[in-house]
Amino acid sequence: MGQRTAVIGLGSMGYGMAESCLAAGHETYGFDVADAPMARLRTEGGAPGALADVAGQLDAAMVVVLNAAQTESVLFGENGIAPLMRQGAVVVACATVPPAFAKEMEARCSALGVHYLDAPISGGSIKAASGQLSVMTAGTAEAFAAAHPVLEATAETVFELGDTAGPGSAMKAVNQLLAGVHIAAMAEALTFGMTQGVTPEKFVEVISKCAGSSWMLENRAPHIVAGDYTPHSQVNIWPKDLGIVLDIAKSANFSAPITATALQQFIAAAGMGLGHEDDAAVAKVYARNAGLTLPGEGE
């Protein structure tokens, strides 16, 4: 039997997750600050209704927003849903946040009788739409049980990392360190190759089959080759996520110089006005500094 589920945050990941919940037979509500994705989801079978009106009837609320501040606003802000949710319902929190924040949200939800699952996600918009995400989860056995149907609908792999919130977000920070560094390193290598006459097309053809490849290289470098920076994951994600990594590192007295360098390149890209482009657009920082012309940029 399907659950009554809300997906809050219908961006590239959240929208695909809502579609996956619908495909699995869950009664699915979609909410966003923008009207267009909410209307689109309803045309695909999404349930109608205002969040405040349906919050008390939900079995699960998947919160797929940008950051900790937005997560806290959804749960405990002026129109926060946590006090409206029934006891035994579960919040599945999917944003990249500091582990300490996840622990705080768990405690505040628990005080209301609401389960909280620390559940950051990875896999990109295509895997979100096909129900094949990887989810790094941590929470009580009861939270896992309550979230199981929606995790089954949206994820291919669910890593159970702890019996209280925090470890899921810690693992996501480790992943984001690597992912952000790999995108920046790909952009650096691709544009370095251009200075030596290696075209972006040839770079992808050869390096994707060599030891220097990475998942991010294989996924993002083709965007540069195509000159298509339609955002699957925006440049703006990385100052936030790598900033979280460095905040955690600072609290642990851990030096992360490679992360810090990658962060500066994404900040530079945002400063060039590229914040809403695909994160592969960090290559434009290198291209500008080296006087290179990337595919699709003209002469």
Catalytic residue chosen out of the listed positions 172, 202, 250, 284: 172
Confidence of residue 208 (pLDDT cuts 50, 70, 90): very high
d(CA 270, CA 243): 14
The strand pair at 155-160 and 133-137 is best described as parallel
Q: What is the pTM of this model?
A: 0.93
Identify the pLDDT of residue 1.
Answer: 57
Contacts of 133 (CB under 8 A, 6+ apart): 13, 17, 121, 122, 123, 127, 154, 155, 156, 157
Segments in the chain forming alpha helices (H): 12-23, 35-43, 51-54, 68-76, 99-110, 124-129, 141-154, 167-195, 200-207, 215-226, 237-251, 257-271, 283-290
Verify whether residue 172 is a known catalytic residue: yes
**pLDDT class of 2 with cuts at 50, 70, 90:** confident
The closest of 223, 246, 225 to 233, measured between CA atoms, is 223
Average pLDDT of 192-200?
Answer: 98
Q: Is the pLDDT of residue 250 over 60?
A: yes
The Cα–Cα gap between 152 and 168 comes to: 17
Angle at 94 between CA 90 and CA 99, to 5 degrees: 95
The whole-number average pLDDT for the span 192-196 is 98
pLDDT of residue 126: 87
Tell whether the model's pLDDT for residue 278 goes beyond 70.
yes
What was the pLDDT predicted at 21? 97
Q: Which domains does the chain have, with CATH numbers?
A: 4-164 (3.40.50.720), 169-290 (1.10.1040.10)
Q: Is 299 a residue whose pLDDT tops 80?
A: no
- pLDDT value for 125: 84
Give yes or no for a contact between 172 and 106, defined as CB atoms under 8 angstroms apart. Answer: no
Q: How many CB atoms lie within 10 A of CB 45?
A: 12
Determine contact, residues 48/25, Cβ cutoff 8 Å.
Answer: no
- Residue 124's pLDDT band, with cuts at 50, 70 and 90, is confident
pLDDT per position as a tens digit, 26-80:
999 999 999 999 999 999 999 999 999 999 999 999 999 999 999 999 999 999 9
Pick from 192, 292, 179: nearest CA to 241: 179
